[in-house]
Structure formats: C-alpha cells, structure tokens
Amino acid sequence: MDLKKMKLDFKDPATICVLAGSVLMLLASFLPQAKAKVSMFGMSESTTSTLMGDYAHQGIFLLLLAIATVVILVLGLDKEKFLSGALGASAAFGLWGMINVIKDVSDAKKEIKGYEDMMSVSYQIGFFLLILGIIAVVGAIVLTTLGAKKQNAAPAQPQVPQV
C-alpha cells in the first residue's frame, strides 16, 4: 500500500468528524456505561456494565463499524455510498446502545426507589463518550452528504479541444 495515495484531508471537517466519531465509539464500546452500587452494614459492592459484555455485545458491532469507517476513509472509497452506509450503521448501533443503557438505568432507579441511601445507579464515562460519538458520526454523515451534493452540483468545466 502506497501511503502517498491515501486520501486523508485533515482540513476537511467531514474527515475530522469521521475520525473523532470512530475513536469515540471505539472507546465507548470498552468503557463502563452504567454503575450500580449497594452499601449495607458497612460493606459496599458495585458492578458496571459495558457495551462489550452486556447489552447483546453491541460493543463488538461498534468496534467493527469504527474500524470499517476508518478503513473506508483511508482507502478513499466512494464516500457517498460506502462511508455514509458505515456511518449510518454506527449511528444506529450507537443509538441502540444508548437507549438500552438509559432503559436499564431507569429500570434500576425505579427498583431502588425508597432505598436511595443504600443503593445508587449512575451513568459512567462510556455513556457520555457514546453520546459524543453519535453526535460526531451524525455530523460526519451530514457533512459527507453535503460535500457529495456540492461535487455533483458543481458546473462542469468546459473542455478545450486539443489540436
């Protein structure tokens, strides 16, 4: 692979959003999403949930899609077709994971109602990185789509016949 043929333009906002969103989704798949803590009789026990092990292993899908989007970007494949599809799938899995985490935390808070002095449930850093990753990926989709429309709408340059 010739590194000179890579089409990464770090001045392009769409490229920055794709890379940032992919990295944030990658990190969010490994980091804890929610934490439940129980404290009774001087002892404390806590457990965390991640997208990689819990929530139907959605972290694996996010990991694969993050790698796929970066590979598509590095290889310079058709952004409108391939990159937008991979970004859309990343956003869909990210939203699915975010909804599952919110639902689980909400259910846990309903169950511990009245015992808040002994039990707690909270969101962790992975959840917030997941939200930021989803925002970056949606921004990348919008910027990629707008960039493709600008290229298609640009008037064709008149060609001078060569003699």
Pair 130, 97: CB distance under 8 Å = yes
Predicted confidence pLDDT, tens digits, the chain (163 residues): 444 555 666 777 888 888 899 899 889 888 999 998 888 888 888 888 888 877 667 788 888 888 888 888 877 776 667 777 888 888 888 898 899 889 988 988 888 887 777 888 889 999 999 999 999 999 988 887 887 666 666 555 666 666 6
Rounded Cα gap, residues 25 and 132, in angstroms: 8
**Is 156 in a helix, a strand, or coil?**
coil
Name the fold adopted by 10-150.
Answer: Butyryl-CoA Dehydrogenase, subunit A; domain 3 (1.20.140)
Number of residues written out for the chain:
163
Ranges of each domain in the chain:
10-150
